[in-house]
Structure 1
Amino acid sequence: MLQSLRDYLDSIRARDPAPRSRWEVLLYPGVMALGLHRVAHWLFGAQLYFLARLVNHFSRMLTAIDIHPGATIGKNFFIDHGFTVIGETAEIGDNVTIYQCVTLGGTNPTNGKGGKRHPTLEDNVIIGSGAQIIGPITIGKRGRVGANAVVLDNVPEGATMVGLKARSTLMPAEEWLREFIPYGTPCDEPCEEMIGTGNRRIEEMQKQMAEMQAELTSLKAAQTGSGQDAGSTQRSGTDS
């Protein structure tokens, strides 16, 4: 058990360069919230719902992170900072990272009966700060959700989602895969590539517009010249 704790703390240090030791990581609100959730989840499974809720409320007051006791969470889960909400039927795989102010929210059943209504995050998913993942959808393995994105549909493996409502960047993570992408948002290579593509298109459009303007100027000059020649011919006929 002690080795498992060490491995967990080391997995956090691998994703966050701020802590100088494992002891410092133990003070992280996300680590404390997860530890208390393990207790609450065990009580929930034993149908001791009031005690499970009691632990949950204590954890929320202490860490500003609200994890429902019924949520299922895998290994090496890391909530960086706090103010995160995770619903009852949420399922989280291994090595998942969530930044601050994220909601794994659910849909409200019209029949009043519970069921699977919260998201499923598969292994190695990264959720950026402020993102809202709503409904019984699945974020595939290695999926990334950018900051403040709103995701209402399934996300395929390796995809990166950004925007309101979130749309795919069409840049699968495996094409430029790195071990870890902070905040789930690509900020260098793929963004620069897309910006470069957009700039090239703008340059092509500007070139086409310049060519069209040149052709228009030539046509106007030709028409003006034809008019002047016709006028000269008419005057010559009158003089004679």
Structure 2
Amino acid sequence: MFSRLREDIHHIIERDPAARNAWEVLTCYPGLHAIMLHRLAAWCWGMGLKWAGRFISQVARWFTGIEIHPGASIGRRVFIDHGFGVVIGETAVVGDDCTIYQGVTLGGTSLTKGSKRHPTLDVGVIVGAGAQILGGFTVGAGAKIGSNAVVVKEVPPGATAVGNPARIVQKSAGDKLDGVTTATELFTAYGVTVNGDDPLSKALHGLIQQATVQQKQMDTVLAALKASGISCEKLLEIEKFNAEQLNKLVD
């Protein structure tokens, strides 16, 4: 038990630059307190003491603002940062080295008792603040979920998902996530990645750029027709395409 606690504290210090020492983490980090109480609640749940498990879970919620059902499976070195408003459902599975920020829900969309209603986070997943992961699917190893994303389908390993509903931004197929060191090297706070723009926004910007190119080509054709003595006055009255204004709307 104490070795797991030391491991958790060391992992939090690695992931959070605001953590100054082990004593501060042990006494002032509600995410750690919630994980510790969950281990006790899960033990009671596994021993058939269902009410005791739920009561301990409720006490943890009162003191930390984090609700973890005693039936949920939480791996090693899981860091719930800030944590207020985090909800983890009964059949959820959180793998080793995952990081979950405040306001996250690992929820279920099915009402069938006994089924796998809640998501599985594979090793090294990062879930940004306010993200909602809903359903009994798997978020692959090393995946990143952007803040306020609403994920309702499986996310491939190494991918980044953003938006509502969530869309895949990028995927690093060559990433290896079989060790603590690798997961730490790939860590990005709140799931923020370089060049991680919404793919829909990228597509719209591409269409606007293409329309701008076509507008310039049309201007060239009209100029050539005018030089040849062909009147194009009615075409010239058409309002010019304003790419800058549209790009601002998309951003």
Please tell me the TM-score bracket, short chain as reference: 0.7 to 0.9
Q: Offset of 1:159 from its aligned partner? A: 0.5
Distance 2:225 2:6 in 1: 78
Tell me by how many angstroms 1:114 deviates: 2.7
The normalised TM-score by structure 2 is 0.79
5 Å matches for 1:146-161? 146-161=146-161
Gaps of 5+ in 1: 226-240
The one-letter code of the counterpart of 2:2 is L
SS state at 1:10 partner = helix
Q: C-alpha offsets along residues 156-197 of structure 1, whole Å, 9 cap, x if unaligned?
A: 11000000000001x2245799421111121x3555xx9999
Offset from partner CA, 1:175-225 (integer Å, 9 cap, x none): 799421111121x3555xx99998787556434422321211221332359
Say yes or no: does 1:28 pair with 2:34: no
Shift of 1:83: 1.1
For 2:38, give the aligned amino acid: H
> Partner of 1:180 in structure 2?
187
CA distance in 2, matches of 1:196, 1:50: 50
1:210 to 205, 216, 236: 216
Distance 1:211 1:63, change over 3 A: same
Q: CA deviation at 1:8?
A: 1.6
SS of the residue corresponding to residue 62 of structure 2 reads helix
Distance 2:138 2:203 in 1: 31
2:69 corresponds to 1:68: yes
Q: Secondary structure at the match of 1:209?
A: helix
* Secondary structure in 2 matching 1:35: helix
Structure with bigger gyration radius: 1
The residue number in structure 1 matching 2:54 is 53
Matched residues in 1 for 2:230 and 2:153: separation? 61
Task: Quote the residue 2:239 is aligned against.
Answer: none
Q: Which one of the candidate residues 87, 92, 110 is aligned to 2:89?
A: 87
Paired residue secondary structure (1:168): strand
Q: Which residue number in structure 1 is paired with residue 144 of structure 2?
A: 144
Aligned CA RMSD, in angstroms, stands at 2.6
Please report how far the alpha carbon of residue 49 of structure 1 lies from its aligned counterpart in structure 2 after TM superposition. 0.7
Does the 8 Å CA contact 2:157/2:173 hold for their aligned counterparts?
no
Q: Any idea what the Cα deviations from partners look like across 1:43-92, whole Å, max 9, x if unmatched?
A: 00011011111101100000000000000111001110121000000011
CA distance in 1 between partners of 2:91 and 2:53 (Å): 15
In 2: Cα distance, 1:173 partner to 1:180 partner = 13
Aligned: 1:219 with 2:225: yes
Paired-residue identity, %: 45
- For 1:232, the equivalent position in structure 2 comes to none
Instruction: Give secondary structure in 1 for the equivalent of 2:165.
Output: coil
How much has 1:7 moved relative to structure 2? 2.1
Q: Given the alignment, which residue of 99, 102, 105 partners 2:101? A: 99
TM-score (norm 1): 0.83
Secondary structure of the residue aligned to 2:118 is coil
Distance 1:197 1:91, change over 3 A: closer
Q: Distance in 1 between matches of 2:135 and 2:202?
A: 36
- Hey, what's the Cα distance between the residues in 2 that align with 1:50 and 1:163? 38
Aligned length: 220
Gaps in structure 2 of 5+ consecutive residues: 176-181, 232-251
Sort the Cα spacing of 1:196 and 1:74 in 2 relative to 1 into closer, same or farther, 3 A: closer
CA distance in 2, matches of 1:58, 1:199: 49
